Amino acid sequence: MAKAIRMHRTGGPEVLEYVDVEVGEPGPGEARVRNHAIGLNFIDVYFRTGLYPLPLPSGLGQEGAGVVEAVGEGVTHVAPGDRVVYAGRPNGAYSEVRTMPADILVRLPDGIDFETAAAMMLQGLTVQYLFRQTYALQPGQTILFHAAAGGVGLIACQWARALGVNLIGTAGSNEKAELALAHGAAHVINYNTEDIVARVREITDGAMVPVVYDSVGKDTFFRSLDCLQPRGLMVSFGNSSGAVPPFSLGELASRNSLYVTRPSLAAYAASRPQLEAMAADLFDMVGSGKIKIGINQRFPLAQAADAHIALEARRTTGSTILLP
């Protein structure tokens, strides 16, 4: 038996139950992993509330780091005793021990500890595909990145600085703005006191930006479009304020032929070689010191509901982890 978080219905943080669960032996293509640290991400909220449907009852959580205890038939890329990290479906990371598909497990370099690994994998791989693949950034470019003081945002600030890219971030307070600036943002707009579009126009001398990365969704979508250059790319990769409402494609034409994409980690890391290449890039950035992972909140696994409350209330900065 092991402790884990389970949910039997969707709703608020109160639906998260801390219970005993049976952990079976790994079957073909599976591994049993004992988690040492678990990542908290806004996608967990989407599953908990039902915005992203999932079969119930269900576990929750898509990111963790720990040690392989056993592997099933056909698993050769990891072995018992290996230190590993993972990010992605299926849900179930909120647990002391879990049996899971082995194909999303990546061996963890010796220089990266479990807590750092659990705090960085999903968010770091997200920045990797956003900056390296969705839109391949070049030195000297100026971009707009929303929620710059969040877990993904602080990694993005540092990665942009390492690439020689001028990142304009947005944040909801002066304290969060200072945090993003300290991590490498070139400018930060306080969206509660400043006009995002007007400030981007001012910062860029009217040129606007070639790409906007927007994880906020409903509250910022159209303002993001207004910050783009002709034929610019709107990258919508989250919905922390709610889903983007349906809109006419004419909105893109009227703003000078814009592009919109809605990427996901699963699509970019769909094969083992893709996942390993992305992870190697992330490990290199962290191992070299170009990116430092700030774990600013830690909660016991049993208090996962409290962690969700803090996350949704925007009381967190940087990364948050759960400890079994």
β-pair partners for 18: 5
pLDDT computed for residue 176 by the predictor: 94
**pLDDT, tens digit, 9 for 90 and up, residues 173-190:** 999 999 999 999 999 999
Residue with tokens 């962290």: 286
Does residue 84 sit in helix, strand or coil?
A: strand
User: Percent of the chain scored above 90 by pLDDT?
Assistant: 91
pLDDT computed for residue 121 by the predictor: 95
Q: What is the mean pLDDT of the chain?
A: 95
**Phi, psi values for residue 62, rounded to 5°:** -125, 10
d(CA 77, CA 107): 8
Residue with tokens 């940087």: 318
Decide if pLDDT at 291 tops 90: yes
How many C-beta atoms lie closer than 10 Å to residue 73's C-beta? 9
Whether the domain at 2-121+272-323 and the domain at 139-262 fall into the same CATH topology: no
d(CA 236, CA 135): 12
User: Percent of the chain scored above 70 by pLDDT?
Assistant: 100
Q: pLDDT band for position 271 (50/70/90)?
A: very high
pLDDT computed for residue 239 by the predictor: 81
pLDDT computed for residue 229 by the predictor: 98
**33-42, 71-80, 232-241: least confidently modelled range:** 232-241
Q: pLDDT band for position 318 (50/70/90)?
A: confident
**pLDDT, tens digit, 9 for 90 and up, residues 78-100:** 999 999 999 988 999 999 999 99
Decide if pLDDT at 310 tops 90: yes
Residue with tokens 């990542």: 39
Mean pLDDT of 311-317: 88
Q: Where are the domains of the chain?
A: 2-121+272-323, 139-262
Decide if pLDDT at 240 tops 90: no
Assigned fold of 139-262: Rossmann fold (3.40.50)
Assigned fold of 2-121+272-323: Quinone Oxidoreductase; Chain A, domain 1 (3.90.180)
Mean pLDDT of 214-218: 91
Given CA atoms 21, 26, 29, 32 in this order, what sign does their dihedral have?
Answer: positive
